[in-house]
Structure 1
Amino acid sequence: MRVSYGVPLAPLTTLRIGGQATSLVEFQELADFPDFVEEMRHSPAPPVCLGEGSNVLVGDQGCATPVLRMATRGLRVRETDDRDRVLVEVQAGHPLRDLVETLISEGLVGMEMLAGIPGTTGATPVQNVGAYGQEVSDTLRSVQAWDWELGRRVTLNASECGLGHRTSIFKRSRRWTVLSLLFSLRRAELSTPVTYRSVAEELDVPLGSSVPPAQVAQAVLTVRRRKGMVLDSSEKDRRSIGSVFFSPEVGGPTAARLRDLGAPVARFPDGSTRVSASWLIRQAGFDLNHPLTHGVRISSVHHTLVADEGASAAAFCQAVDIVLRQVLDRTGVLLTPEIDFIGD
């Protein structure tokens, strides 16, 4: 456990925005966690958790509450009675991209569509991370976490985590600190069916096809890079948090109207019908590279928000509000930000 004081948080996030942490606690060994719990007994509030900072906006005034950064790494494969099914236990700080690569190399299927998503594995259940037809809820078996309300370590089955479209019981709550996760994966030579047209076209296969997982992952990475959704894909647009808004749920006449306009309206794994937020932003009149506020603009390759030199948290929030209001005015659909806000 390493404790630092007055630490700038901006360099620890992909947006590179925000003030200082009064105190930052970094863990590389989970065995040190009980010491941290003891130190927190006198704190009026649970700590703020920070992984790789790929979905957070830190306030300009920083954060007075202790910030906990999980840097624990490691995974362990456990065999089951089913010869085609294995359990994989992963430390919360383990990078998701490394986990996906390891699973593919081990011939394990179920998370190959998540290739290229930044962040730690411990952050994945918080908003039920998903892409191109796969979600963490498809493979998550359980989460081991520290419950600050009960003051003890707990194991939550996936069914207890409230996993939905980019949400869970962990979202917008500091009650739990995720320590490790258990996934159930299948041994197979072919991927789960490809259900997204852009990925199928990249692979040159019909929708619903299954191909070797490594090929799927490469196709997903190619599609994501075209959209600037891989952090190393564009120097100009790398100060990004990916999707700023949830894909909003639509139904009935609204869904039909949007389909008539050519909108990508699709059925999601949670059973909801949703429309692409980036399509709505484009439809509302925002061009690529469109300036929004000082230091904040629309990306040059995809309809999402990115930061440039001089950006602040206040300016980013103002830009979010500008996009939200204009999309509502032009399309009649209300967007909801999916960013996690950290700070005072």
Structure 2
Amino acid sequence: MRVIHGIPLAPWTTLNIGGPAASFAELRDAADFPDFVAHTAARADGRTPVCLGGGSNVLVGDAGCSVPVLRMATRGVRILGDRGDGRVLVRVEAGHPLWELVDTTVAEGLIGMEMLAGIPGTTGATPVQNVGAYGQEIADTLVEVTAWDWRAGREVVLDAAACGLGHRTSVFKGSRRWTLLSLLFALRRSPLSAPVGYRSVAEELDVAVGERVPAADAARAVLAVRRRKGMVLDFCDVDRRSVGSVFLSPEVTAAQIEGLRELDAPVNRFPDGSTRVSASWLIRRAGFGLNHPVAKGVRVSSLHYTLVADEGASAASFAEAVDTVLHEVRRRTGVTLTPEIDFIGD
């Protein structure tokens, strides 16, 4: 494990925004984690550290971060075998890239993650906001996580129920109490994917919604759809400084649902039982067009209704853009958006 002082955090995030870290450690070997705990105890004055994975869902403050920052870069996937109920257990190190895990599971003939193809970031970050896309989410397959509990000062194992997984949330969201070290998933062995539940993916595959296809084909179709939206890292040079979806698709009331459907808004039921309207549709409805400038160095993407950073962007200007979109959507539609970015730093 190497520790660096005063390193800029911007290059470690997909927005390429943010000031320096007072202390930055990169963990490549899980066996070195106790050294980081000791380093933190000596330098953090009792403050828990910030954990950084792929940096694809964070906005680092312009002043940087005075508490220790841990970049989780551990890798490894172990297929442990059948658990006896038709599912196969898979143990994954927290720093393992999610897109690589999806590729591995599809190649092994395991389904349950094929619709998550192309999502950036580390596997350890996925329970934090219960990452999901195109009908699948981490809650569908997560069995347990192994984590360091900074409050208790020891390693703990939390089962999926204890993780409090909901729509883009969990007990880990907004908390630095735990650092996730490894995760255990249960996947099913099948040559065919889960039923294709989204029209855009079905159209890419030229099949009807609800059909099952080879898992590799489903993953490729999801990747193609994500690329068209500029939601795959390094695919589009113009819109590459992004955090993907800046806002959650908000839950709406029965009265709002009726009015939104009269406007042909995409209103759908979600796995947690909530009814939500597309955040992208709300942003467009509020008058923000593609490439629309919102704040200094920050604009709407040229491919999708989300925010991206350009030259001159700062954490302050990106936060200003988030606030501007939030208030304009509320004013024009009566619906309140919630940012899903993790804001870290001083």
- TM > 0.5 fold call: yes
Q: Structure 2: which amino acid aligns with 1:104?
A: V
Structure 2 CA distance for aligned equivalents of residues 132 and 259 of structure 1: 21
Structure 2 residue corresponding to 1:262, chosen from 242, 261, 264 = 264
Write the deviation string for residues 179-229 of structure 1: whole angstroms up to 9, x where unpaired.
Answer: 000000000011111111111111111111111111111110111111111
Q: Is residue 52 of structure 2 the alignment partner of residue 34 of structure 1?
A: no
Structure 2 residue corresponding to 1:99, chosen from 98, 101, 109 = 101
CA pair 321-81 structure 1, distance change in 2 beyond 3 A: closer
RMSD of aligned Cα (Å) = 0.9
Offset at residue 83 of structure 1 (A): 7.5
Aligned residues: 344
Structure 1 residue corresponding to 2:134, chosen from 132, 135, 152 = 132
CA pair 326-33 structure 1, distance change in 2 beyond 3 A: same
Q: Please state whether the residue corresponding to 1:178 is helix, strand or coil.
A: strand
**TM alignment of 1:319-334, pairs within 5 A:** 319-334=321-336
Hey, what does 1:59 align to over in structure 2? 61
Hey, what does 1:223 align to over in structure 2? 225
Hey, what does 2:3 align to over in structure 1? 3
Structure 1 CA distance for aligned equivalents of residues 85 and 259 of structure 2: 48
Q: Please state whether the residue corresponding to 2:119 is helix, strand or coil.
A: coil
Hey, what does 1:49 align to over in structure 2? 51
Hey, what does 1:302 align to over in structure 2? 304
Structure 2 residue corresponding to 1:122, chosen from 121, 124, 127 = 124
Q: Is residue 197 of structure 2 the alignment partner of residue 195 of structure 1?
A: yes
**TM alignment of 1:106-117, pairs within 5 A:** 106-117=108-119
Q: Is residue 174 of structure 2 the alignment partner of residue 172 of structure 1?
A: yes
Write the deviation string for residues 108-156 of structure 1: whole angstroms up to 9, x where unpaired.
Answer: 0000000000000000000000000100000000000000000000000
Q: Which 10-residue stretch deviates more, 252-261 or 237-246?
A: 252-261
Q: Structure 2: which amino acid aligns with 1:37?
A: V
CA contact (8 A) 1:97 1:116 kept: yes
Q: Structure 1: which amino acid aligns with 2:28?
A: Q
CA contact (8 A) 1:84 1:188 kept: no
Hey, what does 1:76 align to over in structure 2? 78
Q: Please state whether the residue corresponding to 1:280 is helix, strand or coil.
A: helix
Q: Please state whether the residue corresponding to 2:236 is helix, strand or coil.
A: coil
Q: Please state whether the residue corresponding to 2:187 is helix, strand or coil.
A: strand
TM-score, normalising length: structure 1: 0.99
Write the deviation string for residues 46-92 of structure 1: whole angstroms up to 9, x where unpaired.
Answer: 10000010000000000000000110000100112538421000000
CA contact (8 A) 1:190 1:213 kept: yes
Structure 1 CA distance for aligned equivalents of residues 38 and 331 of structure 2: 51
Q: Structure 2: which amino acid aligns with 1:67?
A: V
Structure 1 CA distance for aligned equivalents of residues 221 and 261 of structure 2: 26
Write the deviation string for residues 12-68 of structure 1: whole angstroms up to 9, x where unpaired.
Answer: 000000100011011110101112112222422110000010000000000000000
What stretches of structure 1 of length at least 5 have no aligned partner?
none
Hey, what does 1:281 align to over in structure 2? 283
Q: Which 10-residue stretch deviates more, 43-52 or 33-42?
A: 33-42
Q: Is residue 16 of structure 2 the alignment partner of residue 16 of structure 1?
A: yes
Q: Structure 2: which amino acid aligns with 1:16?
A: N
Structure 2 CA distance for aligned equivalents of residues 299 and 30 of structure 1: 37
Query: Could you tell me the percent identity over the aligned residues?
Result: 69
